[in-house]
């Protein structure tokens, strides 16, 4: 009988919901955001929120609304460098490299992931809230390395699409709206919850 244990190394596991906003499906991104709640990794546990309120602008907070708030900066720098920079939506966003890493002063989770869900983090002088509404039924994915964002990881996750979502910075909503896109072989909205997300690294051939 084959062992039920997956022998591949776990690079990190946790949650990674996102919101990507634009005016139309064929228009540029106006605001991008990702939230991370990591329960295990080589850099320990931690939380972080990446917000690009002006993704095309190569400037960071306070000159532009591009920043990361985190309670574990080494972890978030690892996630940004090794994963977020490889996510298709973020690859061509100059604001990602320019954003500063701000120490978290507080955080809050709200919602039941049925009617709505939200994550808020704040640092000195800035607060960001991500909110997902009109959530679909969850579905599971098992993405092989050849199809994953990094090209080297096996990725498992449970997704829920949102019909509506918002990125709010210091009480002001970012421009744009949720639109559909092609993702994982199906049409999927650009606002989603991602729970139980695990990135496994198979051994090199």
Integer Cα distance of 66 and 57 in angstroms: 8
Q: Say how far apart CA 35 and CA 48 lie, in whole Å.
A: 6
Domain annotation covers residue 4: no
Mean pLDDT taken over the chain: 95
Domain, as residue range, for 47: 11-201
Q: How confident is the model at residue 111, as a pLDDT?
A: 96
Q: Confidence class of residue 199 from pLDDT cuts 50, 70 and 90? A: very high
Whether residue 73 lies inside any domain: the answer is yes
Does some domain include residue 185?
yes
Provide, rounded to the nearest whole percent, the portion of the chain with pLDDT above 90.
90
pLDDT digits (tens, 9 = 90+) for 135-154: 999 999 999 999 999 999 99
Global pTM?
Answer: 0.95
Tell me the pLDDT band of 158, cut-offs 50, 70 and 90. very high
How many structural domains compose the chain?
A: 1
Return contacts of 77-84, CB within 8 angstroms, 24+ apart: 77/101, 78/41, 78/42, 78/43, 79/12, 79/36, 79/38, 79/48, 80/50, 82/11, 82/150, 83/149, 83/150, 83/199, 84/34, 84/50
Residue located via tokens 């954003």: 99
Is it the case that residue 39 has pLDDT exceeding 90? yes
pLDDT in tens, 94-114: 999 999 999 999 999 999 999
Asked whether residue 3 is domain-assigned, the answer is: no
Query: What pLDDT, on the 0 to 100 scale, is given for residue 2?
Result: 81
Write down the pLDDT at residue 205: 66
Whether 5 is in a domain gets the answer no
104 contacts 123 by C-beta, under 8 angstroms:
yes
Residue 6: inside a domain, yes or no?
no
């Amino acid at each position: 009988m084959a062992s039920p244990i997956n022998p591949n190394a776990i690079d990190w596991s946790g949650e990674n919901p996102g919101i990507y906003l634009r005016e139309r499906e064929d228009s540029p991104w106006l605001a991008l955001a990702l939230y991370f709640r990591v329960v295990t990794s080589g850099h320990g546990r931690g939380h972080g929120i990446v917000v690009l309120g002006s993704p095309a602008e190569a400037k960071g907070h306070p000159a532009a609304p591009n920043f990361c708030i985190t309670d574990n900066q080494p972890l978030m720098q690892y996630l940004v460098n090794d994963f977020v920079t490889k996510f298709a939506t973020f690859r061509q966003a100059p604001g990602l490299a320019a954003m500063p890493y701000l120490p978290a002063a507080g955080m809050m989770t709200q919602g039941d992931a049925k009617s709505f869900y939200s994550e808020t983090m704040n640092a000195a002088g800035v607060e960001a809230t991500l909110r997902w509404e009109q959530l679909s039924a969850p579905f599971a994915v098992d993405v092989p390395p050849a199809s994953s964002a990094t090209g080297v990881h096996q990725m498992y996750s449970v997704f829920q699409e949102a019909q509506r979502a918002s990125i709010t910075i210091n009480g002001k909503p970012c421009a744009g709206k949720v639109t559909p896109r092609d993702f994982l072989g199906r049409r999927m909205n650009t606002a989603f919850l991602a729970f139980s997300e695990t990135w496994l690294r198979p051994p090199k051939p």
